[in-house]
Structures are given as C-alpha cells and as structure tokens.
A and B are shown apart, each in its own frame.
Chain A
Amino acid sequence: MSILVDSNTRLIVQGITGREGLYHAKGCRDYGTHVVGGVTPGKGGQEIEGFPVFDSVREARARTGANATMIFVPPPAAADAIVEAMACGIELVVCITEGVPILDMVKVKCALAEYPGTRLVGPNCPGVISPGQAKVGIMPGRIHLPGHVGIISRSGTLAYEAVGQLTALGIGQSSCVGIGGDPINGTSFVDALRLFQADPATHAIVMVGEIGGGAEEEAAAFIQASVTKPVVAFIAGQSAPAGRRMGHAGAIISGGKGTAAAKMEALAAAGITVVASPADMGKAMAGLLAGRA
C-alpha cells in the first residue's frame, strides 16, 4: 500500500500542451502511471503523444474516468485550474505551478473546504510518488525504491536528497509527498502525517521542513499526540539570515518567528529524531529501523 497515488490512479494533466506539461506527462507514463489524457482549453479534440486532449476537466473526467490531476497551468490561471478540478470531483489535485499569488490561494483554501472529497497537494511542489506503483509529479523516478518509509518535504530537491540517501542504504519508500514551498498549501505536514500513520505499508517517516511559518511546530504537536511510527526530521535554513526570503515564497524568518532552531527544538521535544546535518537523514533512519528490528 501507499498514500495518495497507486496503481488505481487515473491521471490527467492540466496544461498538457505546454512544454513542461507534456514532458512530465510522458515522464509519469514512462514510470507506469495511467496517464489517461490532458486538458488545455481551446485545444480539445487533439491527440498529443498519444494523450487525448480535452477542453475542460469535466469532459476529461467523463470520458476517461480520471481521479487525479497534475497542474502545469501558469500562475495567472493556476488557481482557476485547481478550482475547476475540485468542482469536477477530482479526488487528488497536484499543483506543480510555482508563483501562484498568495491571495489566490486564500480563496482556493476557502473553496477547498466545500469539497471534502478533494485533496490538494502544492502548489509549488514536485508532486507525489509511490515507488513501483505510480508517479504524479516531476521527481526523478529512478532514484526511488519501493519500501516502507514515507517522506514529506516542503522542498523538492531536498526530498530527492532524502530519497537518494535512503535508497543508497537499501531502504525503500512507501510514498513521497512534496507539499510545496509556498506559505499556503493544500496539504500540510499534519495532513500527510495523518495519512502515513494510517497507512499499514508505512513503517517510519522522514519529515523535511524549512524556515518560515509554524507548520513544523504543529507537526511536532501532532506527532507527539497521534503518530506512533518513528520519525526523522531535518530543518533547512539553520544558517539563513532573518528577514530574507530564501528562494521559496514561504521560507522566511519574520519578526523572530519561524527559525530553524525553534522548529528543531519543538520536534526534539516531541521525541522526534532531529538531525542537524542534511547528510544524516538516511543514516538516522537506518539507525531507527535497526533499533526496532
């Protein structure tokens, strides 16, 4: 088993006729995901690289039975694409687009509450992969290994780093969720932790946070109260200056809040194995798993 995506996932790509959208639609299909089509308004009726193109999500869903979508629509229309997918009953909406205005996300978040059947992952994220089953995202599939460690990360490449370290040690992953680097996102650390806790195929969790906001502190409280599986955490930005946005829209220490030190302290206080070095994520997980074996 796994979370969010598996062999039953039937994926459409919103923005499939764009360069990135098409490239990654093919990447997901090559990995083994059932990519059943794509949506680009005004380009319906075409077929591109074997993918049928539809004018709307409603039509795509009716014709293909899609239950998941991956969004590459540019920032000005990305929020609209998310809301369209929600309104059409798509269960999993993964928004890869970087640069969505934050007030657009305020509205999306508000609308999302009306659609309890939809889960949004992202925006500004690499997507979700369940190794050996399905990939819905832009991550390199070949670094992954099927197994039992769940990964949750705000950063894309840092998630790949965690995966790379685990795979090099022969430790496989159940699912890897990139929740994205924006200040407002669809799936939080707590949401993903809840899914991993409930997934029998996940035996342990790696959580990769970074400076800014309070999501890691909330995760620490949730883990202490409700997660029985071992967790390894790393927080990026221990050396970051205050008041500067470190690449991700959400990675900023403001008013003394959101420091790596405070997050690491909260996680450690909740009994989580916190590593100071990003090079130690895999080793620490190996140690925890050996201790439980």
Chain B
Amino acid sequence: MDIHEYQAKDLLRRFQVATPAGQVARDAQEARAITEGFGGRSVVKAQIHAGGRGKGGGVKFAKSPDEAAELFGRMLGMTLVTRQTGPEGRRVNTVYLAAPVDIARELYLSLLVDRGAGRVIFLASAEGGVEIEEVAAHSPEKIVKVTVDPVLGLAGYQVRELAAALGLRGEALRQAGGFLRNLYRLFLEQDCSMIEINPLVVTAQGELTALDAKIAFDDNALFRHPEIQAFRDGAEEAPAETEAASFGLNFIKLDGSIGCMVNGAGLAMATMDIIQLHGASPANFLDVGGGASEEAVKNAFRIILQDPGVKAVLVNIFGGIMRCDIVAKGIVNASRDIGVTVPVVVRLEGTNVEEGKRILAESGLAILVGADLEDAARKVVAAIH
C-alpha cells in the first residue's frame, strides 16, 4: 500500500527522523497563513501517489504568502500528469506546504527487502534528486548497498559505511547514526516494504533532512497496523480494482480487448501471455481465487464487462479439487443474470469436466468451449476478428 508524502513525513517525525516543517492546507487562506508561519516563503506540493511531480508542475516555490495562496488555488483540483501517472494523469485532492530549505547537497537513501538475501537493505548514493534507476544504469558503482542482519540490527560500522557513501561530514555525519537507525526502526515497526528518501538533503547549515519521502507498506502486514490502513486514499486507486478487492478478487485493469477470468495468479498471467502470443491483448488480470464460486464468477463477469473495451471474455479454470459441473453452472447462471453480450470462451479442467462441458453446451448461451489452453486462446482471439 502506498501513502502520500505528507503522511510519510508525519511518520518520519513520529520516529524522530528529521524532515522540514510542513502542513496540509485546506484552503487558500490556510495556505497563506502556513506560509506566513514559515517566514513568508514555502514549497507548495501536490499530493498524489506517483513520482515525477516536480517535472509535471506539481511542486512550486512560493516567494510570498499571496503567491502560496495563488499556487494552492491552481494546484488543488488540477490533473497532474507525470511519467508515472500515464497520460490520463491524477487529480490533485490534497496540497501540502513545506518550509523552504537551503540545499547544499542532494543525496539518495532507501530501505527495502532484498528478496535474494531475505534481509532488509539500505541503498545510498551521493547522487540524489535524480531517479535511482538512472544512476544504476549509468554508474552503478555510485550506489552502495548495506545488508542488515535481523539479529544485530544496523551496526555501527554500517552506519559509517553509509555515511561515507553519502559523503557526510561535520554536523551531518554526527546526525547520521540517529537518522539511519530511526529509519530502520520505522521500517521494522510499521512493516514497510520500501522507504525512499530522494532527495535526502544536507542543508546550507550542514544538517541532514528528508526533503521528500515515499513510503510503501507490506499489504500482508496491514492487519497489525490499523493506523496505517487509515492512510489509504481510495481516490488514488482504480474504482474497479477497489470493487474487485471487496469481493476477494484480484483484478488489474489493462488496455486490451479480451477480458480474462482465471483461478490462480500464475495461470492468470500465463493466460494473458497466451492471448498476446495469439496476436490480441488482455483487457485485465483477474484471479478469482481458489473457490471460483458462482458469486465470485458473477462479480468477476460484472467487473470485466464494465470496461467498454472488452470484446470477448476468456474463462480459464483449472478446477483441481473443484468440480467442473458446479463451476459450469456458476458460469451459466452468472452469464444469464448479468446478460453477457460478448462472446465467452470457457476452458475447464478438473473433476467432472465432461459434465461441465455438457452444461455449457446445452445452456443455449453463446459460450464456446475450449478443449485446452491453446484451443481456448485461439477461439477467443478468433471471436474478436
């Protein structure tokens, strides 16, 4: 789960990680007052769950309280397009004002779980304020990786290693230990999946501070963090995906014309792949889960068909321990109730498969039966041509 910058910075403050003062403004009047409180200048920042805000016009410097009020008015409600939002952009519903900082150096710092090592790692680079992927591509030697032992925690020598990689001296170097250890504590205690501070800044006064902050959380651990769940912003999520999740369906919208309904995540991806190999494009990823009950199938059909770009649907159920006759009945009832108008190709595998196929064939509905994965893919692609 992703959260906004202003929420991330609240968390940083709670864990004693230095970050510039800041506050969300509800209206232009408040934007003016907050800026006055910062000494008459502020940084006005659009809050969306996507990077590249600066280049997209979502981060502006206000040299006076009036300018802050004006920038606030322009930013709130605007559609911000960045390289991460896609061409449709995101509506800005929240605007954050931060105290300006005199920047001496911009650095990069992040924490994440290294899958291979099975441990939390720090990545640090003296090249901050640019995308880390770019640094990794042209000069990987400038990124230093430190792997944390879960028992020892972040060791003193590792703090020194990271501080050296960041080129910290003087006051910033003295602050590094607390800053890094508190970040690590935040990562563990809040079950983060990623913390990215880009840029981490050394100010003209020589202090270390998190100018920006992006924090993501492990969805599997949200059950033990009700206060983090409260950070969820439904407006940042695709409505169909939120709706699907409420029915226990795993759904991701894509741009193609063939809707997919599959049990199991791996098979769902493989079904998308075989559609693409046959020259068409999947309209979605959808895992109906192990049960594939009539109710789940019905909801899945409804969500898939909300997309006007869907010209045909491929249902691929490897029944396993489910009985195919029951799945088939579910598909027939769901198609009748929903009034499915596009061609539907069904591939069923599992117990009582012959009975399942008979139910589909005798339903009187325009349901085509795929003999196997290959046959089903060929039939559904043919159906849209």
Question: Which residues on A are within 8 Å of B, measured CB to CB?
Answer: 27, 75-76, 99-107, 109-110, 138-140, 142-143, 153-161, 164, 181, 183-184, 208, 210-215, 218, 234, 236-241, 244, 246-251, 255-256, 260, 276-279
Contacts and interface: CB of A to CB of B under 8 A. Distances in A.
Task: Kindly list the 5 A-B residue pairs having the minimum CB-CB distance in the complex, ordered from nearest.
Answer: A155-B266, A247-B265, A157-B264, A158-B266, A101-B221
Contacts of A158: 264, 266-267, 270
| Interface of B, helix, strand, loop or mixed by DSSP | mixed
A128 to B, nearest CB: 15
Nearest to B272: A239
A248 B272 contact: no
Contact of A110 (B150, B266, B350): B150
Given A101-B218, A110-B150, A158-B266, A277 B374 contact: yes
A249 B220 contact: yes
A234 B270 contact: yes
Contacts of A107: 150
A106 to B, nearest CB: 5
B362 interface: no
Given A142-B351, A276-B277, A210 B266 contact: yes
Nearest to B319: A140
A160 B318 contact: yes
Nearest to B349: A164
Given A101-B218, A157-B266, A248-B265, A255 B113 contact: no
A181 B250 CA distance: 14
Contacts, number: 169
B27 interface: no
Given A101-B221, A184-B113, A236 B120 contact: no
Interface in B251-289: 252, 254, 262-277, 281-282, 285, 287
Contacts of B221: 101-104
B115 A140 contact: no
B372 interface: yes
A202 to B, nearest CB: 22
Contacts of B271: 278
B141 interface: no
B93 to A, nearest CB: 22
Given A110-B151, A249-B220, A161 B115 contact: no
A155 B264 contact: yes
B116 A218 contact: yes
Contacts of A244: 252, 285
A27 B351 CA distance: 14
Residues of B in contact with A, size category: 35 or more
Given A102-B218, A183-B115, A211 B374 contact: no
B273 A100 contact: no
Given A106-B120, A246-B265, 4 more contacts: A101-B221, A157-B264, A248-B266, A279-B373
Interface string B175-207: 000000000000010010100000000000000
Given A238-B276, A239-B276, A246-B252, A161 B220 contact: no
Nearest to B132: A255
Contacts of B321: 27, 138, 140
Contact of A279 (B262, B281, B320, B372): B372
B219 interface: yes
A125 to B, nearest CB: 11
B196 to A, nearest CB: 11
Contacts of B120: 103, 106
B302 to A, nearest CB: 20
Interface string B309-322: 00000000011110
Contacts of B193: 102
Contacts of A237: 269, 272-273
A160 B191 CA distance: 33
B133 A255 contact: yes
B226 interface: no
Given A76-B223, A103-B191, A153 B266 contact: yes
A154 B267 CA distance: 11
Given A103-B113, A161-B267, A164-B349, A247 B273 contact: no
A277 B269 CA distance: 11
A164 B274 contact: no
